[in-house]
Structure 1
Amino acid sequence: MRRHGGPRYPPVLLRLVLLAAAGGQGAPPCREQAVSAEAALELLPEEPLQGWKTIEWRVKLEAGSQSRILTAGKDEDVPSLMGPFAGRAVFQQQTLSLRISPVSPADSGVYRAEFEDASGTFTSVCFHVSVWEPIRQPHLEAHILHQEQGWCNLSLLCTVPGATNVSYSWSCSGDTLGPSEHQPRLRLQVPGDADPTICHCNASNPGSWGTASTDVAAACSPAAPGNSPSAP
């Protein structure tokens, strides 16, 4: 009796099936890289391939456009760059890295380097790049809400003009603050006879950070100009 095995595929179809199975494993995830606008972005493969023959850097921007940044051969001169990265991007042949300076939020996207070796095998690495507006000097304002029976109720407001996705944290000398706060506004109760007490606002986003501070004891002093001091 003839036994029937699994399905028989023609050689070409079998190759397609194997490629599909390999593709189902998924590509390695992109490395996350955050950078501040106006700074320099350096994309460096962790382990440069020794036997590489050609390399191609490409980008898919968050705005939707895709473009080739450059194609370089191992034994060739580095080509001059055209398009939006002309004059800003430099390819380092020793490390196979790509350096772009300065960058802007419009440069956010997925950057991919594809290597080809002498046997025709391709290897790729990718970077998910996010470019953030830099954190400028935070602006810190103190306002007295109420004073009564030797206590001063104070409100601190920390703002960062022009920045997005800002996270806040506060710290104060002594035990004034208590549990850490993560909002741009902080409310405090300060004793009227308190020693100098410095509160710091720390503002950050994935690309940069900044800090500002003020003496809340001085802010509660009746002699404070307008009772609403501001300290950059």
Structure 2
Amino acid sequence: MSTHWFVLLACAAANPGLAQAPTPRRHVNGILGGSVLLSVVPFPGRKVRTVEWSFGAGTGDTIQLAEFTSAGFERPNPKDQFQQRLEMHNATSLRIKALQLDDSGVYEARIKTTVSIVEDQAFLLTVYEPVPEPEIRSHSLSSTAAKCNITLQCLVPGGERVNISWRRGSPMRDLGDQERYQLSPDGRSLQLSLPLNPLASNFTCTASNPADQKSISPDLQSICQSSRTAPRPCHWKAIFVGVFLGLQICAIVLVNLLHRKMP
């Protein structure tokens, strides 16, 4: 044996971590209250004898969840955090129901075949909360008889960990023309300059995380019409000044009338 191989074997014996690479993990996303299916894929031509499932949440402790055998489904501890939420979907698939946030973690499956070969497969499950329903707020800029200039703001209550995206048309596609559609740096506000006749397109805001998404499409026709008929800030100021002056005049007239009636 050469010196090179001797050194490699000595290093592997001193540090077993060098001899065996960590098991690759398949990423799985789940939604709170939903369910996921974890399915192992044995090597072709090998018949599965048993599958042992374990779970680790990253705290250092690993618990044995279940064992699939020809006799069925066995649970070492039915009173663990999963209780009745685990099912044997088939000989190689574990279903987790009524997902909870603390179900996130690493699930490992040890597959034992009839030819006495052991395979390890792992899944990294992340459970997300459902995405709240997004809301649209519109702000009129300077709409004219020919164009509608507005800003649409897509808001998600408590959606700090939610991605926001805007698309247009049906079927939906990217925004495209940056002269008519301007997106804010955070992606939440969309400034539009659209011809009114006919109104060019419809726009959709989508709020999403890796496990869920919700969409909303504002009624541009109604928004643009209301932005043309609603008084602008300068009109409100003029109305306020007019009412204030009218009240002052009425007060002066009333005072003069009272003075004239006094002896």
Give the TM-score band, short-chain normalised.
0.7 to 0.9
User: 2:57 aligned to 50, 58, 61, which one?
Assistant: 61
| 1:224–1:124 CA distance, 2 compared to 1 (3 A) | farther
User: 2:27 aligned to 29, 32, 42, which one?
Assistant: 32
Could you tell me the TM-score, scaled by structure 2's length? 0.67
- Name structure 1 gaps, 5 residues minimum: 228-232
| CA deviation after TM superposition for structure 1 residue 102, in Å | 1.1
The answer for the alignment partner of 1:201 in structure 2 is 205
Letter in 2 for 1:16: A
Matched, 1:217 2:221: yes
**Aligned counterparts of 2:149 and 2:117: Cα–Cα separation in 1:** 68
1:151-162 map, 5 Å: 151-162=147-158
User: 2:82 aligned to 70, 81, 85, which one?
Assistant: 85
Which of the pair has the greater relative contact order for Cα pairs under 8 Å at 6+ separation?
Answer: 1
The answer for the alignment partner of 2:38 in structure 1 is 43
The answer for the alignment partner of 1:230 in structure 2 is none
Deviations 1:42-88 (A, max 9, x none): 1011337844333211111256653221234x233422433011111
Could you tell me the TM-score, scaled by structure 1's length? 0.74
Given that 2:166 and 2:205 are in contact with CA atoms closer than 8 Å, whether structure 1 keeps it comes out as yes
**Aligned counterparts of 2:52 and 2:168: Cα–Cα separation in 1:** 51
Q: Percent identity?
A: 22
Letter in 1 for 2:26: R
**Aligned counterparts of 2:189 and 2:95: Cα–Cα separation in 1:** 39
Deviations 1:87-145 (A, max 9, x none): 111123x3321101111222111111012345654211111111111223322222213
The structure in which a higher percent of residues are helix is 2
Letter in 2 for 1:186: L
The answer for the alignment partner of 1:102 in structure 2 is 98
**Aligned counterparts of 1:44 and 1:83: Cα–Cα separation in 2:** 22
Matched, 1:187 2:191: yes
Matched, 1:139 2:138: no
SS at match of 1:83: coil
The answer for the alignment partner of 2:243 in structure 1 is none
Matched, 1:168 2:164: yes
Letter in 2 for 1:178: D
| CA deviation after TM superposition for structure 1 residue 154, in Å | 1.2
Q: How many residues align?
A: 218
| CA deviation after TM superposition for structure 1 residue 218, in Å | 2.2
Given that 1:197 and 1:217 are in contact with CA atoms closer than 8 Å, whether structure 2 keeps it comes out as no
**Aligned counterparts of 1:14 and 1:220: Cα–Cα separation in 2:** 73
The answer for the alignment partner of 1:178 in structure 2 is 177
The structure in which a higher percent of residues are strand is 1
**Aligned counterparts of 2:126 and 2:4: Cα–Cα separation in 1:** 47
**Aligned counterparts of 2:59 and 2:229: Cα–Cα separation in 1:** 48
